[in-house]
């Protein structure tokens, strides 16, 4: 995992796991990597992963099954709602940046269509 310097590593890992859940890479009921395994993969202290999993658990995206580990919630509708809220937040931030740059909705739409067409 490559981390950006302008965000905390913890928040970047949290967002990465959310994206894995929202994209279906970690489907409903899927067991998540063990804390130590994910810490090694991300090259971080295991306490960072404990914190990430705690936040995802608070958001009810994951749950703990006693000694069996951490699992993605089985509620697909809940995940879809959380995904929509996550994407709306990202879209609002992007729209704000585009407005600040002087673009209107039509120009942004055109730009996005071009970017998607190019596969960027």
pLDDT digits (tens, 9 = 90+) for 32-51: 999 999 999 999 999 999 99
pLDDT score for 4: 78
- Look up the CATH architecture of domain 9-74: Orthogonal Bundle (1.10)
Whether the predicted pLDDT of 63 surpasses 90: yes
Task: With beta carbons less than 8 A apart as the criterion, state whether 29 and 71 touch.
Answer: yes
pLDDT score for 51: 97
Whether the predicted pLDDT of 14 surpasses 80: yes
Residue spans of the domains in the chain: they are 9-74, 77-118
Whether the predicted pLDDT of 120 surpasses 70: no
| Mean residue pLDDT across the chain | 94
Q: Tell me the mean pLDDT in the region 58-82.
A: 95
């Amino acid at each position: 995992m490559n981390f950006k310097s302008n965000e905390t590593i913890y928040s970047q890992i949290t967002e990465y796991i959310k994206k894995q859940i929202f994209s279906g890479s970690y489907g409903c009921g899927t067991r998540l990597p063990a804390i130590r395994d994910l810490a090694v993969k991300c090259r971080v202290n295991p306490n960072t992963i404990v914190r990430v999993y705690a936040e995802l658990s608070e958001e009810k995206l994951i749950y703990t099954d006693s000694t069996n580990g951490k699992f993605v919630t089985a509620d697909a509708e809940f995940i879809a709602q959380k995904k929509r809220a996550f994407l709306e937040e990202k879209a609002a931030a992007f729209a704000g940046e585009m407005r600040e740059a002087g673009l209107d909705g039509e120009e942004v739409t055109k730009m996005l269509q071009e970017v998607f067409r190019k596969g960027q």
